[in-house]
Amino acid sequence: MVSKGQKFNKYTDSFINEVLESSRKYGNKITAEKYGITNNTIGTWRYKYKNHQIAIKNKKGRQKNTEKNYKERYEILKKFMEFLANQEGLK
């Protein structure tokens, strides 16, 4: 259970991938002892990697909008405005 004021460890993606590779070869228990982390942490990382088939990212919060995203939204709005203008012209 999480305690108030508890500090959480943050691991880099390269470290996580290294640990996962080691756990595939030697198992969770030996790998956990070698790297000083718990079996449950390795199990959680393995579960996330297995289900998502991507490198594990610990990014939380709202996704940052990129310039490309804004351009796509702008193009969609332009097309929608043209559509509405055509609808007005048909009436």
Q: Would residue 3 count as lying in a domain?
A: no
User: How much is the average pLDDT of 75-88?
Assistant: 91
Q: What is the mean pLDDT of the chain?
A: 83
Which has more confidence, 36 or 56?
36
Distance CA 1, CA 21 (A): 28
> Residue 85: helix, strand or coil by DSSP?
helix
Number of neighbouring beta carbons within 10 Å of residue 19: 21
pLDDT of 53 strictly over 90: no
Q: Would residue 48 count as lying in a domain?
A: yes
Residue 2: pLDDT band (50, 70, 90) is: confident
Q: Would residue 26 count as lying in a domain?
A: yes
Structural domain count, the chain = 1
Residue 19: pLDDT band (50, 70, 90) is: very high
Pick from 26-35, 51-60, 66-75, 81-90: least confident: 51-60
Q: Would residue 18 count as lying in a domain?
A: yes
Q: Would residue 7 count as lying in a domain?
A: no
Instruction: Please choose, from the candidates 59, 56, 63, 61, the residue with its C-alpha nearest in 3D space to the C-alpha of residue 41.
Output: 56
Domain interval for residue 78: 13-58+65-90
Q: Would residue 42 count as lying in a domain?
A: yes
